[in-house]
Amino acid sequence: MGKHKCKQAYLIIAHSEFDILEKQLKLLDDENTDIYLHIDKKVKDFDFNHFEKIVKKSKLFFTERLDVRWGSFKQIECEYLLFKTASKNNYDYYHLLSGIDMPLVSQKEVQEFFDKHQGKEFVCFDNHTLISPSALSRVKYYHFFVPWARSQNKFKRKFFHIFHFHSVKFQQKIGVNRLKKVNYIFRKGANWVSVTNDFVKYLLSKEKEIKKIFRFSYCADELFVQTVLYNSEFYKNVYSKKNDDYLGIKRYIDWKRGEPYTFKIEDYDLLVNSGCFWARKFSNKVDKEIIEKLYEKGMKNE
């Protein structure tokens, strides 16, 4: 058993489907857990007063708001912002989740597990011994136009997507390599992690360097934590060193049926018997019933 009862923080990135977020917060609410919430700057009608009243046991903190675009460097900035804000209060574990995740077990079970495995880093690697050329290209080349390629304006999105594609092709032809003078061995995996206070402090100490390397990257939120961890003494503390092990980070994410797959009511037994603590993703537009059933189960377990 661990030396003491872990103090934990949930770091949540949310931008839509806030009725799911409300249920998520109620299930995460616990006297030994605090919650840090990033609401995308593009959201105009978020009811902060309502959400402040949802949690009864945890402390709820709202971070500064960023305009996060999928695939852009802003995703890394958002994660750094959450880690930096929460680390001021020195938690034993920091769990990164999205606002469309749902807990699968009680907070008591989560607490007992992390108490038992204190000091372990729960980070998933696609492969512990190599990175694919396509994944490495996310940082090898300059991806200048990614933020605009994810614009809400359809014409602008299409225009910059084409511009981005041809920009990378041109860089490949002339032999651009941003990593020539970078000494890191790069690795990739799920960006949803559960990490210790010591590692978070180390990650923050590398912020300036990491931001310089990843500033013009593409979908590098799946690379930066893995890369920093792999190149540090903390790698020896990784809980599971199996390739592509989502059970090793206690998260159920299905990439075989979607990108990722959105769970439905017929997946209920699969989810609750998965051995995982959290699952993503869910949508009321796809299936409300599975969300309600998991919520009711969770409330009974509290």
Note whether residue 73 is domain-resident.
yes
**Residue 199 and residue 251 share a domain:** yes
Comparing CA positions, the residue from 250, 235, 224 lying closest to residue 8 is 250
Contacts (Cβ under 8 Å, ≥6 apart) of 60: 25, 34, 35, 37, 51, 52, 54
CA dist., res. 23 & res. 291, Å (int): 9
Helix H or strand E encompassing 78:
helix 74-87
Whichever domain contains 80, its CATH number is 3.90.550
* Beta-bridge partner residues of 12: 37, 97
**Residue 167 and residue 96 share a domain:** no
Note whether residue 65 is domain-resident.
yes
Note whether residue 71 is domain-resident.
yes
Q: What range defines the domain where residue 152 resides?
A: 142-174
Note whether residue 2 is domain-resident.
no
Note whether residue 137 is domain-resident.
no
**Residue 82 and residue 32 share a domain:** yes
CA dist., res. 231 & res. 238, Å (int): 12
Confidence of residue 166 (pLDDT cuts 50, 70, 90): confident
Note whether residue 1 is domain-resident.
no
**Residue 17 and residue 113 share a domain:** yes
Residue 193 in this model has a pLDDT that exceeds 60: yes
**Residue 88 and residue 118 share a domain:** yes
Note whether residue 164 is domain-resident.
yes
Is the pLDDT higher at 175 or at 243? Answer: 243
**Residue 91 and residue 163 share a domain:** no
Query: In the structure encoding, which two tokens stand for residue 75, read together?
Result: 């995703």
Comparing CA positions, the residue from 297, 300, 246 lying closest to residue 276 is 246
SS3 content of the chain, % helix, strand, coil (to 5): 45, 10, 45
**Residue 236 and residue 168 share a domain:** no
What is the DSSP track for 166-184?
A: HHHHHHHHHT--TTTT--P
Is the pLDDT higher at 161 or at 78? Answer: 78
Which pLDDT tens digit goes with each residue over 32-47? Answer: 999 999 999 999 999 9
**Residue 163 and residue 76 share a domain:** no
Structural domain count, the chain: 2
Q: Are 112 and 8 in contact (CB under 8 A)?
A: no
Which pLDDT tens digit goes with each residue over 101-129? Answer: 999 999 999 999 999 999 999 999 999 99
Note whether residue 135 is domain-resident.
no
Residue that is written with structure tokens 């931001």 in the block: 211
The most confident of 1-10, 170-179, 276-285, by mean pLDDT: 276-285
Comparing CA positions, the residue from 226, 149, 215 lying closest to residue 178 is 215
**Residue 266 and residue 168 share a domain:** no
Comparing CA positions, the residue from 267, 228, 184 lying closest to residue 80 is 228
Crossing angle for the helix pair 197-205 and 207-214, to the nearest 10 degrees: 60
**Residue 284 and residue 154 share a domain:** no
Q: What is the pLDDT of residue 158?
A: 74
Residue that is written with structure tokens 């998965």 in the block: 274
Comparing CA positions, the residue from 116, 113, 103 lying closest to residue 300 is 103
**Residue 273 and residue 154 share a domain:** no
**Residue 233 and residue 103 share a domain:** yes
